[in-house]
Structure 1
Amino acid sequence: MKLWVIKTGDAFADVIAEHGDFEHFFMSAMGPVADTHPELELAVHDARHDGEPPELAEGDGLVITGSHAMVSHAEAWSEALKPWLVDAWQRDLPMLGVCYGHQLMAAALGGESGYHPAGRESGTFRVEMTEAINGDALFGELPLQFAAQLTHAQSVLRPPACAAILGHNAHDPYQTLRYGPRQWSVQFHPEFTAPVMRSYLAHQRQALSEQGQDPERLIAGVTETPEATGLLARFARLVASGGATAS
């Protein structure tokens, strides 16, 4: 079985040079699971440059990365992913969308994504989960509040009818959605480490200042986010198990 990392963008050049690109963050978090599950193969598909999305076999799973692109701009490569995501959802394949992937999954399944009216959210913030996580295969063992790394200008503005709201915070009512027993998306970045988050905030100093925020305070407030980060290994284990639990 394959766990596909669907790459939808690149990090900043200096972040890539020091820490790696988006797909490397995911591979680093999920690689140890693949090392102990030889039946699980990690693979990367760059949706912008690698042509049609990969053909998915039964037992495969997929993660859609973040991007500096915007879902509402409806670029051709991004729009081409929508029917592919719907097909994977209908086949009940394990799916996890992250940031851009979160917004794209929601839009593909009938929701709406676009610019958040309150502007950008960047930094380490707490996400509050709803009681809907009880018994959830991915989130069920998490605390009802945990810290997560966030950087986004767009959000899910209206979730699809099929989605259950699992998590929210003061900025965004749809931080975490579940579309089926093995399909989720999150606005936050479980793949980001604290150093990567600080680098992103450094790039966004001017934009955040213009929005009335204090970038230095946000940088000082960055912490590691082990509960959020652990979701990626849990998801990989879920794919490897071929079942509905990540244990």
Structure 2
Amino acid sequence: MKIGILQTGLVPDSLSARWGQYSDMFGALLTSRGFDTEAWSVVENEFPPGPEAADGWLITGSRHGAYEDHAWIPPLEELIRDIHASDRPLVGVCFGHQIIAQALGGTVEKYPGGWAVGAHTYEFGDGPKTINAWHQDQVVARPEGAQLVATNPFCENAALLYGDSIYTVQAHPEFDDAFTQALIDERGPGIVPDALLEGARAKLGAPSDRLSVIDQFERFFRTRRLT
């Protein structure tokens, strides 16, 4: 099964030499589970010919806002709707979670409560899961028909399911602690309040459920089910 990865943001230059791009992170996780992958950097206006270019799709995170005025966002929203209409499975992470909601009629805003950085615990149907997060924007209104899968007091719409064709999460299951620490040290200062960065740093090394979410992605691609 071939998964097309739509890259919507670029890893900071200071980190990309070690970790590659977001598409590389997801590519490694997916190929380790037996998938073939191909990536398109839509943030650089590189688009696939259409939904038929892959059997399933994944949209990455980004530093950009879904509501921002970038030339690549309207065609990405159109591609999302085309993938949805084609009934191919689609997964979204962080910005991917947000842009899918926006493309299908939901609302994304810069959250007045501020940033979520580092390990956060979300209530899923099968119990709590702790995953690294890095976001200020949120889905504040779900599209019609979107089912709430995970939530916490800070982020109401933390994971959404659209029938058996789309599954999205706000947190970053592709971020291990080493990458999260690098973001805290190199990207966070001057952008994220120091107290939040220190709080996130203090949680590094705690047990993580990030790979159980990647397992969800695998099941969803293969069976259209989360469990």
TM-score of the superposition, structure 2-length normalised? Answer: 0.90
Identical columns (%):
24
- 1:198 aligns with 181
CA separation in 2, counterparts of 1:19 and 1:58?
A: 26
2:166 to 183, 189, 193: 183
Q: Deviations over 1:141-168 (max 9, x none)?
A: xx41010110011111111012011111
Over 3 Å counting, the alpha-carbon distance change for 1:163 and 1:237 in structure 2 is closer
1:7-156 pair list within 5 angstroms: 7-34=7-34, 40-57=35-52, 60-129=55-124, 133=125, 143-156=126-139
Q: Which moved more, 1:72-81 or 1:187-196?
A: 72-81
Please give the per-residue CA displacement for 1:54-105, whole angstroms capped at 9, x wherever unaligned.
3223971000000111111031201111121112112221111000101000
Q: Is the 8 A contact 1:26 1:232 kept in 2?
A: no
Structure 2 matches for 1:166-181, cutoff 5 A?
A: 166-181=149-164
Aligned with residue 209 of structure 2, among 221, 224, 227: 227
Instruction: Report the alpha carbon displacement of residue 217 of structure 1 after superposing the two structures with TM.
Output: 2.8
Instruction: Compute the displacement of 1:229 (Å).
Output: 2.5
C-alpha deviation, 1:180, in angstroms = 1.5
Please report the RMSD computed on the Cα atoms of aligned residues, expressed in angstroms: 2.1
Q: Quick one: distance in 1 between partners of 2:207 and 2:27?
A: 17
Does the C-alpha gap of structure 1 residues 53 and 162 become closer, same or farther in structure 2, counting only changes over 3 Å? farther
More moved, 87-96 vs 172-181: 87-96
C-alpha offsets along residues 102-156 of structure 1, whole Å, 9 cap, x if unaligned? 1000000000112011111111110112xxx4xxxxxxxxx41010110011111
1:208 to 1:48, Cα distance in 2 relative to 1, 3 A? closer
Higher relative contact order (CA 8 A, sep 6+): 1
Deviation at 1:220, TM superposition (A): 1.8
Structure 1: segments with no counterpart, 5+ residues: 35-39, 134-142
Paired AA for residue 20 in structure 2: G
**Post-superposition offset of 1:230:** 3.2
Number of residues of Structure 1 aligned to a counterpart in Structure 2: 226
Residue 222 of structure 1: how far off its partner (Å): 2.1
